Structure 1
Amino acid sequence: EIVPAAMRGRMYGINNIIGLLATTTALLAASWILDELTGLSRFMMLIGLGVGAGVLCVLLAFPIPGGAPGRLRETAHWAAMREALADRRLVLYLSYTALTMVAMQIFSAFVPLLMKEEIGLPSSRIVLLEVAGSAVGVLSSYGWGWWSDRRGTRPLRLVLLLMGLLPVLWMLLPRQHEWSFFGALIIAFVAGATYNGWWITDQRMLYVDIVPEERRTEYLALYYAWIGLVGGCGPLIAGPLLDASADLQGRWWIVPIDAYTPLLVGSILAVASSFVLLQRLRARLADTPPPLQRDPHVA
């Protein structure tokens, strides 16, 4: 309701920069408090700061324009959501998103364990990898938003190609080697740009190309329910798979084989399937007119 469709990519980029900087500042402040204070008081202070920040957030949200209720409809909500599921574009989008999210959950949850247990990096250097990824995310966010505003869904193809390349690079990373950290650092740079690029370009496609202005309630209800379900099921599937392959050891040509190899191979397959679905979705978007988006500056 507030941001015109023509500049939503840049808005997501700026919003992502602010979010990453705020998160980094909060983590640094929390780390300092935990180091300087002792006993239960340090945790009480962190909880108090969190509650205060939440209250301030609510107060600052009151002046934001928009949010008025939509027009009253006679159609039942369940029937409206069934009608939304009849939209082939939405079904393709939800399918592609699910596969991409599963791959990203594997990356975020299990790659730090891979770095520690197989690559041999200490915890302090693993934290540096996360900081490096966040730094690249801040630097690249506006560029992704600017590109998606001008090229629509085209940047998503590059994002998914990079995302599919990440597991290959992790599998080829030398184990227990003096150059392991520098190789992991380069991959962290690519991963940081890729993660943020996917979120920015994907969200722009959702709100500009998929969701119609007059039916956003049922479309977004389905979207948030779906990503919540996928977000909860992904680790439940990946965790038992990692346990089942715990004793896997070996080597295939130049690729080390270990307990994390099935997860990384599975993530490659998930991203490849996601890329195919994205291509089908882009073809369908090209054949159908985009949903009507109201200009917030026009009364």
Structure 2
Amino acid sequence: MTASSDNFINAFAIYLQASAAQMGVLTALPQFFGALMQILSIWLGQVIPRRKLVYNVAIIQCCGVAVLALLALPVIGDSVKASKVPWLIGLVVLYHSCLNLIQPQWRAWMGDIVPRRRRGAFFAARTRLSMVASLAVFLGGGALLTGFDKLGAIGIGFAVLFAIASTGRAASSYYLWRMHDPSDRKYLRSRPGTVAPVGRFGSLRDYLSDRNFLHYTLFIAGMQGVVAISAPFFAVYMLKVLELSYLQFALNSVASVATQFALLGFWGRFSDRHGNRLVMLITSCLLPLLPILWLFSPDYSYLLLVQVISGFAWSGFTLSTANFLYDIRPHKTNFAAYAAVQQAVGASAVFCGALFGGFCVTYADTIMAVMPAELRLEHGVFLVFVISGVLRAGIALWFIPRCKEPRIRKRPEMLQIVFRVARFNPISGVVLDWLTVTRKRKLEEERD
């Protein structure tokens, strides 16, 4: 589902002739609502049995993707295409809301099902299988769309693609229903006084009163926000300006994702030896260069190299920032709650950044008209690339003197952490879920 829907949403919006402002909204709203849904999921888990919640939300998501397939059916006239964009935005918001409602419950569910001593082997094999399948389907989707485009029936191609996604979600929903949930018997039924109000998880002020966490949250949110300025428009540049085929578009994205996946182990060992702070500083200095590199050449081989560099930077950044949050949170506090707060603040920044990017592209010609002739750019979309790069550098320069290596509490080594590649998107590259693993020998020592 994720390989055949997540990664072609922007391409589908371009096919529907979405405006620059609409491309910004398409990126902004789903991220914002998705983060809010993670917080809501923590509360809903007290009211609805976990298995039932995950299954029903998955069915809703399946139906939403099925409607996307209907939306993709060929239409007559350009004006009719454009009228479908608001429906697309609404369905993508529903899609990401469902995804984020499920995620916290799914993480806890798998933590209960898989024995600690087998988590490493199980999730490592699962991640390899899911990544190979996702990348294969992603490339297959690009080839499918390219074939239908040559036949002059690209709308049918998108309809087939989203129908495949809906079928995949339907199959996964069936197996979710068949899974055992050990928490069913000890489920706390909803009675007056038994459900914690949302406010009990703590106010935003409580979390942000810690200066380390405040600086970290502002850094991550700021970086996500300025990345969102340019993120929706790489697809616009490749498909509309360079007129690449859908297969070339897919291969370009796969170059970054595959590099990230391949280098997670390298960055894990590096951060174990030198600390997460150093990895964060190195990669945050590389991130401002990534959108600027797109300005130098439209050659396809060059852009593949840029994506490999992008994968190198994003894999280290994603890994180190996840571990840094683990280290700076107060001892024996709820990691999920801290992560949810950080994601909510970050989603707000993404919302603002994506809308600002849409505004800049919409008025790019007007903005560049008042610029000196020697500074004018070849394409309006280059303006958001430059703005995003400059602001990324500003965020990194602000954070570097404020980033202090925390006192490392006893935590799992990198080899004892299970990484599950949940999905990948144009905002933050590979999105990781992770569970800690205790080795069997250590478990035996604790029992003795």
TM beyond 0.5: yes
Structure 1 residue 167, shift from structure 2 partner = 2.3
Deviation string 1:229-253 (CA, Å, 9 cap, x unpaired) is 2233322221111101046479637
**What is the aligned partner in structure 2 of residue 159 from structure 1?**
283
CA contact (8 A) 2:142 2:248 kept: no
**Per the alignment, do residues 115 and 25 of structure 1 end up closer, same or farther by CA in structure 2, a change over 3 Å counting?**
closer
Q: Is 1:227 matched up with 2:346?
A: yes
Q: Is 1:192 matched up with 2:311?
A: yes
**What is the aligned partner in structure 1 of residue 132 from structure 2?**
21
Pick from 349, 355, 359: which aligns with 1:236?
355
**Per the alignment, do residues 269 and 31 of structure 1 end up closer, same or farther by CA in structure 2, a change over 3 Å counting?**
closer
**What is the aligned partner in structure 1 of residue 222 from structure 2?**
99
Structure 1 residue 88, shift from structure 2 partner = 0.7
- The one-letter code matched in structure 2 to 1:204 is N
Which structure 2 segments of 5+ residues have no match? 1-107, 112-122, 149-155, 189-195, 413-435
Q: Is 1:168 matched up with 2:289?
A: no
- The one-letter code matched in structure 1 to 2:386 is V
**Per the alignment, do residues 102 and 21 of structure 1 end up closer, same or farther by CA in structure 2, a change over 3 Å counting?**
farther
- The one-letter code matched in structure 2 to 1:278 is F
Q: Say how many residue pairs are matched.
A: 277
How is 1:179-218 mapped onto 2 (pairs within 5 angstroms)? Answer: 180-210=299-329, 212-216=331-335, 218=337
Deviation string 1:74-106 (CA, Å, 9 cap, x unpaired) is xx6375542221011111111111221123334
SS at match of 1:274: helix
C-alpha distance in structure 1 between counterparts of 2:334 and 2:131, whole Å: 31
C-alpha distance in structure 1 between counterparts of 2:228 and 2:279, whole Å: 21
Pick from 380, 404, 409: which aligns with 1:259?
380
Deviation string 1:241-298 (CA, Å, 9 cap, x unpaired) is 1101046479637x84431233122212221122124323423x45xx3567699655
Structure 1 residue 118, shift from structure 2 partner = 4.2
C-alpha distance in structure 2 between counterparts of 1:136 and 1:142, whole Å: 11
**What is the aligned partner in structure 2 of residue 8 from structure 1?**
none
- The one-letter code matched in structure 2 to 1:206 is L
C-alpha distance in structure 1 between counterparts of 2:271 and 2:221, whole Å: 21
CA contact (8 A) 1:99 1:274 kept: yes
**Per the alignment, do residues 261 and 278 of structure 1 end up closer, same or farther by CA in structure 2, a change over 3 Å counting?**
same
Sequence identity (%): 17
Deviation string 1:2-43 (CA, Å, 9 cap, x unpaired) is 7xxxxxxxxx9998766543421443566788889x898886
**Per the alignment, do residues 26 and 120 of structure 1 end up closer, same or farther by CA in structure 2, a change over 3 Å counting?**
closer
Deviation string 1:121-171 (CA, Å, 9 cap, x unpaired) is 444423221122222222212212222232222111221222111122112
Pick from 131, 134, 138: which aligns with 2:257?
134
**Per the alignment, do residues 121 and 31 of structure 1 end up closer, same or farther by CA in structure 2, a change over 3 Å counting?**
closer
